[in-house]
A and B are shown apart, each in its own frame.
Chain A
Amino acid sequence: MISEGLANFLQLILSGLAVGSVYAIVALGFVIIYKATDVFNFAQGELMTLGAFVCYFFIVQLHIPIIWAFLLTFVSTALIGMITEELFFKPLVGEPIFSVIMVTVGLSVFLKGVTGLLWGYMIKKFPVFVSENPISFSGIVISPIHLTTIIITGALIIVFVLFFKFSIMGIAMRAVANDQDASLLMGISVRRIFGLSWAISAIVASMGGILLSSITILHPSSSFVGIKVFPAVVLGGLDSIPGAILGGIIIGVVENLAGGYIDPLVGGGVKEITAFVILIMIMMIRPYGLFGKEEIERV
């Protein structure tokens, strides 16, 4: 048995890891699109929620077994991502960045309306796919869904680091992110890479949506977690995949620690602004984040 103080500390860290993993997954989906296409996707939260509802649709409304439902969800959201890219973002290649951002804003409203239209606004329970009994050891408790979230996030880091380092597609995506013209000259189909990045991001978003909806509730309001993306990607570096994940996790953990130790001293309220305090500190000390690359501007 460990001391109560240590148990408390570890408990906070564990919960923080779980929450941070959710932030990390959202941030990951965001950075994938940003890295490959330079698009600042305001609709990432809505993509997440849509993914969760699509999965709900397969499991509860079509009664498909869970594993197949997950696969179907990934396939459909990947398709939705690619179609979105093709319809709405392809025509905007070369246009000023603001226009593209505005389209993502419009997309987020559009997706909100679609989700509301198809599934309504009543609170639903996401189908349970891991045990609901908490696991406890040495005075610390963790729920299986939190553990699953942490493990999946860890897996995603490994998968994506390997993907971008060693696979042809991954290297091609990095090339396109770095220099579109040179990539074209090297024979990389930039069109396909754009579509692929939206597809991957959509899959990651639906994973996040499924996990978040399992931890909390299945409801369109879950898209608000998208706001936490900013501190996470700034901390990690806007164009770094491992950075996004680590950024999310760090924010989750620091938030929880602040909530556990500082909140009781000042009567609460610190937890929520922690993320933004970190944001401001990073902007002042190291604007490019932990892993981001410093941009050298040439005239």
Chain B
Amino acid sequence: MKGKLKIIVIFLCFVAVFYGSLVKTISAAEVPGVTKDKIIIGTLSPLTGPIAMVGIPIADAVKDYFSFINEQGGIYGRKIEVISEDDKYEPPQAVASLKKLIDRDKIFACASTSGTPITAAVAPTVGREKIPSMAPIPAYGIFEPKPPKYIFAYGPFYADQVIFNIEYILFTLKAKDPKLAFFYQDDDFGQDGYRGFKAAVEKYKLNVVATEKYTRGAIDISSQVLNIKRANPDFLILTFIPSHSIMLLKEAKKLGLTIPIFSCANARLEEVIKVSGDAADIYHCAEYTALPNETNVPGMAKLIQNRNKRNPAEKVPPKYYILSYVNALILGEGIKKAGKDLTREKLRSALESLKDFNTEGLTGSISYSQNDHCPMTAMRVVKANSKTGYYEPITDWGLTKLNLKQK
């Protein structure tokens, strides 16, 4: 019997140690993540896996911006600490990572809820925990018809960007009865782009000669490009991810398809120009932030200066860095507006009452309301220039004429 007793005791010790390591000490902060001299902000984004090229800049931008704020003395004397978690772009992982940030790291607010499917998956948790969060991607599925109470973003939906591109063709290029082709990734964002395309086609009575799609992960789209070429369109509208934009441009050049191609902002990466070379000269994007080469824009100059201080190796801020930097700006402004007596509810209402927030040229002005947590901000059409490796704006800032939100 003694042997068995020993085993039971050891087993119980095991159990105790195991549980002990999981249970954490209960700290005495009234508001989670806020102390006299510190605010803890979390970010959730893919830091590994193929989408890491989006997720890493998102996390970096938040860190860099708040380092800048800390150097200025913080907000009401509180320094901001940023903790980043990897969600591997897998929804169950993301929920676990967010819960860890909330329960273990005690974040006060979240500066990035990662991409659209992740945001959707963590939305119930965000709502339950009532934790104000910024989503980097303006996603129709999340913010319409009624926005989640605690999640904020900015920018036009993919549908709106497609409409903006089409309106550029109709009203700026003044194309007469243009023949359009549409090509999209068969995914949530591609389907949103398609929604915009269909709306524009219906409203403006447009002639569609080809519609093609590809599945995420396809390594070849040559047959679709061939189909498009055979249909002889005047313009090609896309909702793609950058890697496939590159494939498209190469294939288009090879097959002699030289019509202007219009993409959404998510594929406005300098890498697209770099890898496609001169095939990129027909590539246009609808873009709603300033461009990294626009150093005369005060917000962009400050962003680049801040970034170079912390990351001197890379000169050009990636697109998603700029996007996320604006989110950090918004969050910082919200925290400031919420006042010295900081609570999550106060932050949320501060954000919701933000009107005409000026990002110093990085984006159009941003205004929130109770019913709109993702305002469409101004866009421009930008064109790729393979000689400089950058994009150049070819229109002024504007919104779409056809507003799908008026329902």
Contacts and interface: CB of A to CB of B under 8 A. Distances in A.
B25 interface: no
B271 A271 contact: no
Chain A interface size, as a band, is 35 or more
A154 B211 CA distance: 35
Interface in B227-269: 227, 230, 242-243, 246-247, 250, 253-256, 269
B213 interface: yes
A12 B225 CA distance: 10
Contacts of B254: 134, 141-143
Contact of B256 (A141, A263, A267): A141
Nearest to B318: A122
Given A134-B254, A256-B223, A271-B224, A116 B269 contact: no
Contacts of B230: 8
A134 B255 CA distance: 8
A238 to B, nearest CB: 23
A260 B255 CA distance: 14
Contacts of B49: 112, 116, 121, 220-221
Given A121-B53, A122-B271, A219-B50, A256 B220 contact: yes
Nearest to B272: A123
Contact of A221 (B50, B215, B222, B275): B50
A233 B246 CA distance: 29
Given A11-B226, A219-B243, A221-B50, A121 B56 contact: yes
Contacts of B168: none
A258 B52 CA distance: 33
Task: Pick the most buried of B51, B52, B242, B318: most chain A CB atoms within 10 A of its CB.
Answer: B52
Interface in A194-226: 212, 215-217, 219-222, 224-225
B23 interface: no
Interface string B36-66: 0000000000001111110010000000000
Contacts of A95: none
B247 A264 contact: no
Contacts of B255: 11, 141
B78 interface: no
A104 interface: no
Contacts of B52: 116, 120-121
Interface string A125-138: 10000001010000
A106 interface: no
A22 B230 CA distance: 26
Given A123-B242, A123-B269, A141-B255, A216 B223 contact: no
A15 interface: yes
A116 B219 CA distance: 20
B226 A8 contact: yes
A269 to B, nearest CB: 6
A14 to B, nearest CB: 9
Nearest to A15: B222
Contacts of A8: 226, 230
Contacts of B253: 134
B50 A260 contact: no
Interface in A1-46: 8, 11-12, 15-16, 18-19, 22
A15 B214 CA distance: 16
Contacts of B81: none
A125 B273 CA distance: 10
Nearest to B278: A132
A15 B223 contact: yes
A19 B226 contact: no
Contact of A12 (B51, B223, B243, B256): B223
A267 B219 CA distance: 20
Contacts of A134: 253-254
A16 B253 CA distance: 18
Given A132-B277, A217-B246, A267-B211, A256 B53 contact: no
A145 B24 CA distance: 57
Given A123-B271, A268-B186, 11 more contacts: A112-B49, A121-B52, A121-B53, A216-B246, A216-B247, A217-B243, A217-B275, A256-B220, A257-B223, A260-B223, A272-B218
Top 4 A-B pairs, shortest CB-CB distance: A259-B223, A221-B50, A121-B52, A15-B222
Interface of A: 8, 11-12, 15-16, 18-19, 22, 112-113, 116, 120-125, 132, 134, 141-143, 212, 215-217, 219-222, 224-225, 227-228, 252, 255-260, 263-264, 267-269, 271-272
30 contacts: A8-B226, A11-B226, A12-B223, A15-B222, A112-B48, A121-B49, A121-B52, A123-B242, A141-B255, A143-B254, A216-B243, A217-B275, A219-B50, A220-B50, A221-B217, A221-B243, A224-B50, A225-B219, A252-B220, A256-B220, A256-B223, A257-B223, A260-B223, A264-B227, A268-B186, A268-B212, A269-B213, A271-B224, A272-B214, A272-B215
